[in-house]
Structure 1
Amino acid sequence: MNTGDDRPAPPLRGDERETLRAFLEFHRATLAMKCAGLTDEELRAQSSPPSTLSLLGLVRHMAEVERNWFRRVINQEVDLPLVWSDKGDFQEAYDASKSTREEAFTAWEAEVEHSRRIEREAASLDVTGYFGRWEQDVSLRLVMVHLLHEYARHNGHADFLREGIDGVVGA
């Protein structure tokens, strides 16, 4: 598979873990690509009212998602607070009205690195962690598929946001 840009190409015949890992990296790179070349003000530009969604809000949200699923669930860092909310409100990450590219991307990139380390150190995709909201153990496999779902959905939002800022469209 050739992506035609700098994003990593998922393998055409990789094993399960390699394929999940590669598609997750592809989607992480896609979010970064959608934000490339924009100013802080452009990254804070909100979608159509009443929504306050912005590219920077998506980056902040995905930092929380990475942190929650890999560190809090799989790595069992249960007392780890959210990055942008003292009240445990995941929605606060979307409010990027006072955020900067540096702040949001530094947090997101740090969480991605933690996630990569946790995934690589896990013995298998069958490693489990407890997810309190469901009151169930979940596998690393489920976490990686869930993250793929989150990135794919939010990268779709990022497509529309970026097009509304400067007309740039594409994968």
Structure 2
Amino acid sequence: MAVGQKRKRPASDPVPTAAKPASKLTKTITHTVIANSGLKGEGEKAKTEDAVERQQLLDLIASSPTTTPFEKRVLSLLCQIPRGRVSTYGLLSARLGSSPRAVGGALRRNPFAPRVPCHRVVAAGGGLGGFKGAWPRDGVGITLDEKRKLLRGEGVKFDAKGRVLGTPWGEFV
């Protein structure tokens, strides 16, 4: 095989896992879940509405002529992350058998943001990472402020250093 040429993995090969064990990826982040209002039937109605919206988003992603098959897989996984929860680039990449950078690249090109919630993906240490393809300068940036605002609107809490509190969600199907 030529130097620099990638080998295609046969479909029968097992999917590679992340370089770090999941326990290290999930070590420092904890989550906050939005509390239910307590009204009977409201929780079931919300679940039904979420399922309908999720299916609409999946249909939108599948029919997109501008996204690659890999981007469609990444965006489809995003739809599984519940409102008020976050996941990490590492957890998504482990599920997809790719690298966190590849996942970040696909999120940067998300044409459906914020409906397809790329803002719910953070760095392994709870930092916000990049958003809309931009990294912060000195910890601040308009795009990160926007990401923080979207997450706060969903009930996600932050520590004094601006890191997300809670355990990242990784129950991908």
TM-score (norm 1): 0.26
Considering fraction of residues, name the structure with more helix.
1
Higher-RCO chain (CA-CA 8 Å, sequence separation at least 6): 2
